[in-house]
Amino acid sequence: MLSRYGLRCFALGYLSLLLLAPLGMVFWRTFEHGFWPAWDSITTSDARHALYLTLLIAAIVVPANTVYGVLCALAIVRGRFPGKGIVNALVDLPLALSPVVVGLALLLLYGRTGWLGPWLTDHGIQVVFALPSLVLATIFVSLPFVVREVVPVLREIGTEQEQAAATLGASRFQTFRKVTLPAIRWGVAYGVVLTMARALGEFGAVSVVSGHIAGKTETMTQYVQAQYEGFNVAGAYAASVLLAILAVITLLAMTLVRRKEETV
């Protein structure tokens, strides 16, 4: 009994100290002088643009990585092809690699002096210091989440349900849509939440390739940093709170959908 309570206290204490306390602090400092000062500091045109940019990136990255993640997981679990082990290992690379390295790699490839840079510039395509590089960097760092969530679920459900669907006359696509996809939906949903969280919060990789142009290539996380460094601490706190709220909404949305589903 005692050990169970002890364990619970430890888990909660640890969480409070490392997570809740700093987060609470940010909330407190943000609303120290009431709601409106905080509201004003995140409704400046730069702040609004940063929010728009962050949401836009997430809106591109999340669907892209979801589709890729499901296909990649299918290939890893069901596929039989040479180099499968390499694909499986490479998917984890973004988890191991520092985001700054990712950013630098993108610069080397697409930057003005990079391999593809000159060709792209000649064709009027601006990658670095523009939306494309922000999207690429975010896709890269949030690549593994859907794959890693879906792979174990696919392994667990096995192939029998799919074979049953095939003997019942379902085409491959029908089988995928009516049998496989519903069976892995919670893995996908969790992967989407993690991808979303990472896309909203990514700093390092994006920071290298964005160029920090306020109102143009500055995402929410960079906006926070810029405000903090510009001694607009209140603005930085308010923007942080906004990011935190977005994260909480993402988590909450999944919990709600899941609860609704489970009562069926």
Partner 1 sequence: MAIDVREVSKRFGEFPALENVSVEVPTGSLTALLGPSGSGKSTLLRVIAGLERPDHGRVLLDGDDVTKRPPQKRGVGFVFQHYAAFRHMTVYENVAFGLRVQRRPKGETRTRVAELLELVQLDGLAERYPAQLSGGQRQRMGLARALAVEPTVLLLDEPFGALDARVRKELRVWLRRLHDETHTTTLIVTHDQEEAMDVADQIVLMNHGRVEQVAAPRELYDEPANEFVMSFVGPVNRIGGAFVRPHDVELQLQPSDGCEEAMVERLVHLGFEVRVELVRGNGDQFSVQISRDRALELELDRGQIVYVRPLRERTFVTD
Residues at the site binding partner 1, with contacts judged by CB under 8 A: 160-161, 163-171, 174, 178-179, 182-183
Residue 149's CB: how many other CB atoms inside 10 A? 23
Choice between 45 and 167, CB closer to partner 1: 167
Task: Round the CA-based radius of gyration of the chain to a whole number and report it.
Answer: 22
DSSP string, the chain: -HHHHHHHHHHHHHHIIIIIHHHHHHHHHHTTT-HHHHHHHTSSHHHHHHHHHHHHHHHHHHHHHHHHHHHHHHHHHH---TTHHHHHHHHTHHHHS-HHHHHHHHHHHHSTTSSSHHHHHHTT---TTSHHHHHHHHHHHTTHHHHHHHHHHHHHH-SHHHHHHHHTT--HHHHIIIIIHHHHHHHHHHHHHHHHHHHHH--HHHHHHH---TTTT--HHHHHHHHHHTT-HHHHHHHHHHHHHHHHHHHHHHHHHHHHHHT-
Choice between 89 and 164, CB closer to partner 1: 164
Q: Please state the closest distance from residue 178 (CB atom) to partner 1, in A.
A: 7
Choice between 182 and 230, CB closer to partner 1: 182
Q: Please state the closest distance from residue 72 (CB atom) to partner 1, in A.
A: 23
Torsion-angle region of residue 178: left (phi > 0), alpha (psi -120 to 50) or beta? alpha
Choice between 185 and 216, CB closer to partner 1: 185
Q: Please state the closest distance from residue 173 (CB atom) to partner 1, in A.
A: 10
Q: Please state the closest distance from residue 251 (CB atom) to partner 1, in A.
A: 23
Q: Please state the closest distance from residue 188 (CB atom) to partner 1, in A.
A: 13
Distance CA 138, CA 206 (A): 7
Choice between 183 and 214, CB closer to partner 1: 183
Choice between 176 and 228, CB closer to partner 1: 176
Q: Please state the closest distance from residue 212 (CB atom) to partner 1, in A.
A: 47
Q: Please state the closest distance from residue 74 (CB atom) to partner 1, in A.
A: 18
Choice between 8 and 178, CB closer to partner 1: 178
